[in-house]
Structure 1
Amino acid sequence: MEGIKRKNQLFIFSLLVLLVLPTLIVAECTCDQEDEDRDKTKALRYKIAALVSILFASAIGVCIPLLGKIIPALSPEKDIFFIIKAFAAGVILSTGFIHVLPDAFENLTSPCLNEHPWGDFPFTGFVAMCTAMGTLMLETYATAYFQKQHFKRGQVEATDPEKEAGHEGHVHVHTHATHGHAHGHASIDDSSELLRHRVISQVLELGIVVHSVIIGISLGASESPKTIRPLVAALTFHQFFEGMGLGSCITQAKFKRLSVTIMGLFFALTTPVGIGIGIGITNVYDESSPTALIVEGIFNAASAGILIYMALVDLLAADFMNPRMQNSGRLRLGSNLSLLLGAGCMSLLAKWA
């Protein structure tokens, strides 16, 4: 009786192995591109539509916060600017957590990659962590260097009036030195804050640009209208919201007009250029190849680390701990609701892109 029972168990186990094993093999062998409903002509039309709509949406999004000089209500001194910036920060935070980081995990854990080393270590989280720490170090060293340089200049400027007024009396010299010292400290504080905003805007643009190029190339290389169609609207809103976040940072950095124009154009053109590159390499690009997966995964992970750090530390923490917001219940409520709305809208877009 026991022998018959064992034979039955062995038979059932063998049957399960025969049924399940082919399923596992099929599930893992996903490296070959599927035969989608490919239509090059129709797909190209969607790509051109995406290129134009994303270009206009990116340009409008990045320009809205820059209109503070023309529209006083949008200037950084107004409460509405804090609310717009909170919305944009929510968008950027959601982009990092919901859009970019999951893509990086998917790329670097693909069954198309070798088990060693890609299956031995969580490279996605490691790269994101390293870029977040690298961003912190970059900001710290850049700000410290600038402060030292500016403090040295401030000391020289403060000592000049003493030399000039040396024969006019002790009291006069002391008064000038004191005023020069106070003015020097105020100037150093203002300049340090300005430098911080400039570093933030440049690093944030770098993080956005990296994943925008990857998104553009992926869309441009696809030949499936079914895949491209929902991406057109989703990426248009995606770039519009991200542009608002970047534009808010550029506004506070107070760059010269030429620098503002270059940064705005660079952001607006990145995804369309990526789409153009994707169209050009359609016939040779294989998004399932190990090289493409590794490159995309590492760049997406790095971009996610930058975006998450920037959103939490440089955008949200700096503004939400600001005495102006701490002293205004209405501004706190508006900014919190705006943050949730921005993160929610961007998270919703993950359903299509």
Structure 2
Amino acid sequence: MHVLPDSFNDLMSGCLPENPWRKFPFTTFVAMLSAVLTLMVDSFAMSVYKKRCGKALMADANNGGGLENTNVVPIDNFEHGHSHSLEMNDDVSSQLLRHRVIAQVLELGIVVHSVVIGLAMGASGNQCTIRSLIAALCFHQMFEGMGLGGCILQAEYEIKMKAIMVFFFSATTPLGIVLGIGLSKVYSETSPTSLMVVGLLNACSAGLLNYMALVDLLAADFLGPKLQTNMKLQAWSYVAVLLGAGFMSLMAKWA
């Protein structure tokens, strides 16, 4: 909610040259490119998997052909059941891969966003700003962590991978704060370099997170069979989404 406006403020700042920063909407352009790039990663990952799966099915079919050449006649029901089992395994594996792609891309977007927030907090010398940011950040990170945690559980990673992803989520904001404190003497929020870097990172993060929220998270749930077959549950889910969006919008006032 606050990432895109922050990027607008940074890249349209009077501290940057008017040409080209205030003559071209870099924020929306970079956010659009980020969303398209996320779509490309999502699409290519699924395509690579399906290609590999197709080769595996072809190899399995060839093995079946070998059985036929040895005059062993398989039972029709067995063939049908075997084919159906392969299709079910393919669907489950495809869904699992999609969950893993979603978890990793979402983690990337949150990590970039968290580093930027931590950097701004660590470099800030205003105590009032820091206090409000800490309160907002606690709620902000809590809800992001809940969303990311759900994605990690759906991805069914091994315990080592889960620990790595949790570590990066937990460590990036403190790392950004430490980096901001270390650079506080040389880092200026109004310097052209910092405005460009932070503004572009915020725009990238906004495009990525918007795509993930609308396409991979909300659309996947609301267009899935569980909600499509239960109108009451679907209505309550929309209420929950609107309440959550309203609450996060309120938090954006201080974040």
* TM-score bracket for this pair, using the shorter chain length: over 0.9
- Write the distance in 1 (CA, Å) between the matches of 2:59 and 2:197: 50
**CA displacement at 1:149 relative to structure 2:** 0.3
- Write the distance in 2 (CA, Å) between the matches of 1:257 and 1:158: 35
Radius of gyration: which is bigger?
A: 1
- Write the distance in 1 (CA, Å) between the matches of 2:72 and 2:57: 23
Query: For structure 1, which runs of at least 5 residues remain unmatched after alignment?
Result: 1-97
- Write the distance in 1 (CA, Å) between the matches of 2:103 and 2:58: 29
1:273 to 175, 180, 183: 175
For 1:184, the equivalent position in structure 2 comes to: 86
Q: Deviations over 1:266-286 (max 9, x none)?
A: 101110111111111111111
Contact 1:131 1:302 in 2 (8 A): yes
For 2:128, the equivalent position in structure 1 comes to: 226
- Write the distance in 2 (CA, Å) between the matches of 1:180 and 1:328: 32
For 1:206, the equivalent position in structure 2 comes to: 108
For 2:73, the equivalent position in structure 1 comes to: 170
Matched, 1:235 2:149: no
- Write the distance in 1 (CA, Å) between the matches of 2:66 and 2:77: 13
> What is the percent sequence identity of the aligned residues?
52
For 1:105, the equivalent position in structure 2 comes to: 8
For 2:18, the equivalent position in structure 1 comes to: 115
**CA displacement at 1:155 relative to structure 2:** 2.4
RMSD (CA atoms): 1.6
**CA displacement at 1:333 relative to structure 2:** 2.4
Q: Deviations over 1:56-101 (max 9, x none)?
A: xxxxxxxxxxxxxxxxxxxxxxxxxxxxxxxxxxxxxxxxxx2100
Alignment of 1:1-353 (within 5 A): 98-164=1-67, 166-167=69-70, 169-172=72-75, 176-353=78-255
Query: For structure 2, which runs of at least 5 residues remain unmatched after alignment?
Result: none
Contact 1:151 1:188 in 2 (8 A): no
For 1:58, the equivalent position in structure 2 comes to: none
Give SS of 2:244's match.
Answer: helix
Give SS of 2:2's match.
Answer: helix
- Write the distance in 1 (CA, Å) between the matches of 2:52 and 2:240: 38
TM-score, normalised to structure 2, is 0.95
Give SS of 1:203's match.
Answer: helix
TM-score, normalised to structure 1, is 0.69
Contact 1:162 1:176 in 2 (8 A): no
Contact 1:194 1:254 in 2 (8 A): yes
Tell me the matched-pair count.
Answer: 255
**Which residue identity does 2:44 align to in structure 1?**
Y
